[in-house]
Amino acid sequence: MEEEKINGIPRIGSRFPEVEVDTTHGKIKLPDYYKGKWFILFSHPADFTPVCTTEFVEFAKMYPKFKELGVELIGLSVDQVYSHIKWVEWINQKTETEVPFPIIADHLGKLASMLGMLPENGGTNTVRAVFVVDPEGIIRAIIYYPPEVGRNITEIYRLVYALQVSDREKVTLPANWYVDKLEWKSSHLIGDKVIIPPANSIGKAKEIEEKAKKKEIEMLDWWFAYKELEK
């Protein structure tokens, strides 16, 4: 049973599964929608969560650089499409960042299950998975992160660029290749500050708001507060 489950998840070198999905840009058929292009599909645990918000801001700001490489981005979570739309609006209003790429509303978890994005403990939120897919629809790289730690978006950029160079030049790349060429080292949204766990009650939300008023912490919303890391 366990072996069947493992074998059912696509691996590096396998073709991305054919599936039609609902997104913030309408219905899309994958991988055909990006035929002839590289694309990166990345999942996030949930809309209106702080770590995911910082990731989307970074992906959005780096989108022009991905486009220069001929790479498209597409997000995914198990939220409904209207949640995605409102969250994208919030990001635009609060951070002055437009999210230009589609987000899959996989509210039934169909694609998330296919790609092994759901945690082993039975949780319903997707982990932070990354699938790099080439112009032929072949999965070339897979990365998984836990919910607690945000991704390094510049590393994902470095990875897909390295794959393109490898294909074009018929070479392999060493550890840390191209790292020094990357400009962005920390979050555009909160820098090197750390995120306070979102409130899970009205009382906790008010407590966070009071601390923000006293300048003890910083806050973008009741669910998104952050502070300097104590040394």
Q: Annotated catalytic, 52?
A: yes
4, pLDDT greater than 80: no
Q: What is the pLDDT of residue 171?
A: 94
Contacts of 167 (CB under 8 A, 6+ apart): 134
Q: Where residue 123 falls among pLDDT bands split at 50, 70, 90?
A: low
Instruction: Give residue 195's pLDDT.
Output: 95
pLDDT category of residue 5 using cuts at 50, 70 and 90:
very low
Tokens of 214: 């006293």
> How much is the pLDDT for 231?
65
Model confidence at 38: pLDDT above 60: yes
Confidence of residue 8 (pLDDT cuts 50, 70, 90): low
Average pLDDT, the chain: 92
How far apart are alpha carbons 226 and 197 in whole angstroms? 9
Q: Specify whether the CB–CB gap between 141 and 167 falls below 8 A.
A: no
- The helix-helix angle for 81-95 and 50-68 (nearest 10°) equals 80
Amino acid found at 48: F
**Residue with the larger pLDDT of the pair 122 and 162:** 162
**Residue 13, both tokens:** 């070198």
- Separation CA 181–CA 26 (nearest Å): 36
Arithmetic mean of pLDDT, 190-197: 92
Exactly one of 40, 41, 51, 52 is catalytic; which is it?
A: 52
3-class SS letters over 149-170: CCCCHHHHHHHHHHHHHHHHHC
**Has residue 10 got a pLDDT over 90?**
no
Contact 24, 85 (CB under 8 A): yes
pTM > 0.85: yes or no: yes
Question: What would the pLDDT profile of 136-183 be if each residue is shown by its tens digit?
Answer: 999 999 999 988 999 999 999 999 999 999 999 999 999 999 888 887
Residue at 80: amino acid letter: Q
Domains of the chain listed by start with CATH number: 2-151 (3.40.30.10), 194-227 (3.30.1020.10)
